[in-house]
Every structure is written in structure tokens, then in C-alpha cells.
Structure 1
Amino acid sequence: MSAIHATRARDVVVRVNRLTRAFGPVTVLDSLDLEIERGAFVALLGRSGSGKSTLLRTLAGLDSAPAGVVTVPQARAVVFQEPRLVPWKRVWRNLVLGLRRADPRAVALAALDEVGLSHRIDAWPLTLSGGEAQRAALARALVREPELLLLDEPFAALDALTRIRMQRLVAKLWRAHGPAVLLVTHDVDEALQLADRVIVLDQGRIASDFTVDVAHPRHHADSRIEALREVLLARLGVGGADDDTGDP
């Protein structure tokens, strides 16, 4: 018996109980339990095939939960690695597609202004740079006023400098709007720069789950960040930590 429910909890916006997902003989998620508090920023790390994107797609409602119970808010939005803008609609119309709001152009303009893209409101998506397209995708998520924002490696295809700008923009929007954020990433440094909680998945289960108790903005030279980085790399099988078995 399984179900996907809308959550009404005061402090927890995501509850996952014994979620199991298999594709043929391969079990991708194995009786997974997870809770995410309102306003938390959680980064999800793991090797390829560990179940990260499957979990995110389930929370987004894009995949079913055939075994287990998944409780999520109705107001949620997803930003993928590809912007997924409709090429035959101008930028502002992409933002409000399917949205029922009075004066949708004004709603789109306000969101585009927050991501520094108001000057491209009438542009065609194919004329945008990679960074501009991802900012438009973020604005599209923003107009939905999500309680849960799901980010599936949204910066992976960007160059290094644009990636840093986008990371800072996401942090700014998170502080301004306060959704719970789940960021799927392969980048340990990105997880430690943005998230206040880091989870490592391994073979469909949570192998590590700890708080990053370092104030923002964070710096790579901070000894606490460097120590956590070494532990995370070890947990992911990269090595480099003296002790990869204890808690960070």
C-alpha cells in the first residue's frame, strides 16, 4: 500500500516513510525514511545510481511511490539541469504557463527582476545564454511560491563563473522566500557552500546525514568546511580523510 499525500505539518514539509523503488531487478530506493523541515536547505549527494534523482522525482510527483508513504506540500516547484523553456513562447509567458494569477505579466516581471532578468522579459528562450535560461527557470519556480523547491543539478551545465553566480542567486532567493530546498548535486563544494544539511545516499539508503553548522557566507579556506569536505569525499569513496567511518 502506498500513497503521496499533501502535508499539513507545522515544522516538517517532507516526510518519507519506507519508500522503495525498483527498476526490474535493481532496487534504487530501499525502505528510505526522510524528513525535511520547513525552510531547511538540504543537499543530496551520492554516486551515480544511488537514487538521488529518483527520490527528487518522487517528491516532485513525477514518479509514483509504489511502496511507502510520501508526504509533501502541494506548493512545490522543480528546476532541472536543463531550463526546459518552451521555445515558441516568450520568456514571461514561460514563467506563467499554467499559472492562474491576476495580471500574469506583472507577476512574471517581479520574478524576473529578482533574478536580474527583467530586461529579457520579451525575449525568445533560444536567444538566452545558459545562465540567463537557468535564471528564467528559477524565476518560473519562484512565481509558484513553493514551500518545497527541488533542484536537480541545476548548475551542472554552466561554466565555472556562471555557476558561482547562480549558487549565490539561489542562496539569496532561499533567504528571501524561505522554502525548504532539496538540492541534488555531485559537487561536494557546492553542497557545503549552500546547504545547512548534507545527506549522502548509498545503494538507496541514507549513509550519512549531518548538519553544516557554519554561518553564511562560507569560505573554502574555513577549516570546518575543509574538514567536512574531507569526510564527505571519503563517504563518497574518493578518500582523503583520515577517518571515514565516524561522524563529522
Structure 2
Amino acid sequence: MTTRDPIIRIRQLTRRFGAHTVLDRLDLDIERGSFVALLGRSGSGKSTLLRTLSGLDEAPAGTVDVPDKRAVAFQEPRLVPWKTVEENLALGLRKPDARAVIAAALNEVGVGHRLHAWPLTLSGGEAQRVALARALVRDPKVWLLDEPFAALDALTRIQMQRLIAHVWKAHEATVLLVTHDVDEALLLADRVLVLEHGRIGSDIDIALPRPRVSTDPAFAALRDRLLATLGVPAEAHA
């Protein structure tokens, strides 16, 4: 359940690369327990914002308050190829019951049988499941997802979308998902943000009941609204 208590708070965040301003005095609150999708045209600053929230990039101007217990998942699983799945999940994990925690996380995401596998033997979907399990074992308060399903085939992508929805509900986490896929944003999120000219140009609550289907007229209307915001004319997606 969401509350009015923001777990992420951004004020006047500005990021420049040379003469180009990517994020321009951006203000944003994200409520605890919410699932937020971030859309925007290519180059709008989505990944820059996510990298700043993850701590991979500094915030030279403005303030960014985000919990230390956060996990990041990218389009590439980024598994260490010379370590087994279990060894990848154990990296930096300091828990007395680490082996049991790792096994439980892999079972939760459906790849418990790959505990001793090498990363290069995993399918794309299995590798992304392992990447999610690697985040799960650290019990993050915030999940930062940068197009983690973009490289997957259509069927595997649907399975992964359902998996992340399950993880969000089961662990009462806060999720910020960067995606180019409008339907994915509407299927998963309860709030969709559109980044425009370095600021939040649109902020839309998604009140559709779950589970959602793209054939729902209300879903289609929101899709059209978001596509128009992203500069896609109606005749191009009718």
C-alpha cells in the first residue's frame, strides 16, 4: 500500500554535460510502496536520473534523498562470468544465513535449479531472473529498473513483467521503472511520469484495476494520451 510518505525526494536536481542541460532543476517525490514508471523520448535524461538515484553518478546541483538500501537492475544482467550463480549473489552479501537467503531468492524468481550454473549457460530470461534475485537478497527498500526487459523476447518479457509485479507486492518495495514501452508502463505502474526538457512534464495516476489488459477502453485511452505526450500522433498508432 502506498502512503503520503515520500521515500525518494528530489529538489532542484540539475545535470549538465558540457553545454547540454539534461536535468533542469527537477523536483520529484516518490511515495513509499508505489510503482512508478518513467517515460521520455530518447535523450530526455531517464537513465541519467536513474543513475543519480542509484548513486552511480553524483548530484552536483540540487538534493537527492534516497534510502541506502536500494537495488539497481539494468538491461544487461551484469553477472560476473567466472563465478557461479550462487557466487554472484554472494558478492558483498554479509548475512550469517547467506546460502539459505540466496537459495530462497532464486526459488522465488523461478531459477532455484540454476544455483550452481555459470552465467554463460543461462538464457536471457534466466539471467535477468538471477539479476533480480541478486537484488532480492539485499532486501532493498527501493528498486531502480533501467529497461531491464528491453532485450528479451516478447514471451519472456511478459513473464518478467509479471515477476516484477509479484516481487513489488510481496516485498512492499518502491519501484521506479525506466521504460520506452507505454504498454509496459500502463500494465505495471500506478503512476506514470513523462520526462520533458529536463523536468517532469506529465504526472499521471493510473487507477486501472489489476490485472490489466490492453484491450480495456480505459487502458487504450491512457495509451493514446501518453503516446501523444511523447509526440506520437494518433494516426501513427491507430
TM-score bracket for this pair, using the shorter chain length: over 0.9
Matched, 1:28 2:22: yes
1:138 paired with 2:132, answer yes
Mapped partners of 1:21, 1:211: distance in 2: 27
Write the distance in 2 (CA, Å) between the matches of 1:146 and 1:33: 23
Matching residue of 1:231: 225
Equivalent residue, structure 1, for 2:49: 55
The equivalent residue for 1:5 is: none
Partner residue in 2 for 1:98: 92
Give the residue type in structure 2 aligned to 1:204.
G
Flag as ranges the 4+ runs of structure 1 deviating above 3 A: none
The normalised TM-score by structure 1 is 0.92
Distance 1:73 1:133 in 2: 26
TM-score, normalised with respect to structure 2: 0.96
Q: Distance in 1 between matches of 2:140 and 2:197?
A: 30
Q: In the alignment, is the contact (CA less than 8 A) between 1:49 and 1:203 conserved in 2?
A: no
- How many residue pairs match? The answer is 233
Gaps in structure 2 of 5+ consecutive residues: none
Map of 1:10-159 to 2, 5 A cutoff? 11-159=5-153
Tell me the distance in 2 between the aligned counterparts of 1:208 and 1:195.
Answer: 14
Paired with 2:118 and 2:196, the residues of 1 have a C-alpha distance of 41
What is the one-letter code of the residue matched to 1:119?
A: H
Contact 1:233–1:239 (CA under 8 A) maintained in structure 2? yes
Gaps of 5+ in 1: 1-8, 242-248
2:204 counterpart (210, 217, 237): 210
The amino acid of 2:62's aligned partner reads G
Percent identical: 69
Give the aligned CA root-mean-square deviation in angstroms: 1.2
Aligned-partner SS, 1:116: coil
* Letter aligned with residue 88 of structure 2: N
Letter in 1 for 2:50: L
Q: 1:173-227, CA deviations, whole angstroms, 9 ceiling, x for partnerless residues?
A: 1010011100000000000000000000012111100100011110011111110
